Structures are given as C-alpha cells and as structure tokens.
Amino acid sequence: MSGNEPDRTRSSFIDVVALHGGDESLVFVDMMLTMYSLWAGSQGLPFKVIEPKRTAIGRSAGRARLRIDGVDPAWLGERENGVHSIIRIPEGETRRHMSFVGIRVSRAANAPLPTAQDDWGEQIRSLVTAPYQSLTNRLTGFVCHDTAEVLAGDLDRFWQERA
C-alpha cells in the first residue's frame, strides 16, 4: 500500500450505491464493486461481498456492500468517500451515458447511509471510458489515461497522489 500506511488490524465496509443514471448506474455499481475486490485481492487482503443486492432476474438493485479485512476505514474513506462518475458507451450502443454512484467507507456493517444524493458529499472521481480514456481524482487533480487498469484494481498509484 502507498502513503501513510493504514492500520491493518481493522476492517472496512464499502457501500456502493447507484445515485443517478438509470440502468447504467447499476452497471457502474458492479464495476466499482469489481474494482475494489480486485484491489483487495492484489494486496492479499481478505474480502467478501456481503450485499450484492440483485433483483429477481439477476440485475443489480443499485447497491452493494463489500467487507475488506486488514485496511483501516479512516484511511480508505479519506481516499474514496464521495460521489464517483463515469461517462461510457455501453456495448451495443452509440451514445454516451453518464452515471453516478456514492461510495461510503465505514467501520461497521450497519452504518447508516445518506438518503439524498446531495448528502453523499463532493464528487471526488471522474472516469471517462469513451470516446477517450481519462480518470481524474478531483481531490488532488491527478489525471491518468489508463482507466482500464484502475478499474482492474490498480488504485495504489492513484492514491499515492493523495499522500
């Protein structure tokens, strides 16, 4: 891990909630859940999807919860809490879609979540996967152009800019 090593004796609960963008925001919830799971796996940290929240036909219900053992929730929350957006062209379509999810990191599995979109805080990350690649950390101004690597769990160098 990078910058200000977190307390590895704690667990973090990451809630990912669709905020705006219709069906595409449901896809974004799944993308973020996968990103955090891949990051935890690359760090050798035990993790478990606690609430994938699926509808009767298997579609995302717009909310997921992930537990990662061995990472301090204050450390992770400082880097991830807030609103994340993505602009992408879904497979089989030609127009761009913009979606938003809220991320909340806590130390308790039953922590209350904000009820209104405005209560999630500021937008901290913007991803663009089409027509070009760009990822901006709005907290630090860090920009990279390999969004696929970040979505595949390569978060450490992204977070280094925060240290």
Instruction: Tell me the per-residue pLDDT of 33-63, one tens digit each, with 9 for 90 and over.
Output: 999 999 999 999 999 998 776 655 566 678 8
In a domain, 4, yes or no: no
- Specify the pLDDT at position 2: 47
> Is 133 among the domain residues?
yes
For position 44, which CATH number holds? 3.30.70.1660
Give the domain extent around 50.
11-111+121-160
Task: Tell me what pLDDT residue 7 has.
Answer: 61
In the prediction, which pLDDT does 159 show?
80
Q: Quote the radius of gyration of the chain (alpha carbons, Å).
A: 15
100 falls within a domain: yes
Specify the pLDDT at position 163.
Answer: 45
Residue 3 domain flag: no
For residue 1, is it within any domain? no
Residue 87, in any domain of the structure: yes
State residue 69's pLDDT score: 95
Q: How many CB atoms lie within 10 A of CB 10?
A: 16
Q: Is residue 116 part of a domain?
A: no
Q: How many domains are there within the chain?
A: 1
CB proximity list for 122: less than 8 A, separation 6 or greater: 82, 83, 138
pLDDT of res. 139: 85
Question: Which residues of the chain, if any, have pLDDT below 70?
Answer: 1-8, 53-60, 117, 161-163
User: Residue 2: inside a domain, yes or no?
Assistant: no
pLDDT for 124 equals 92
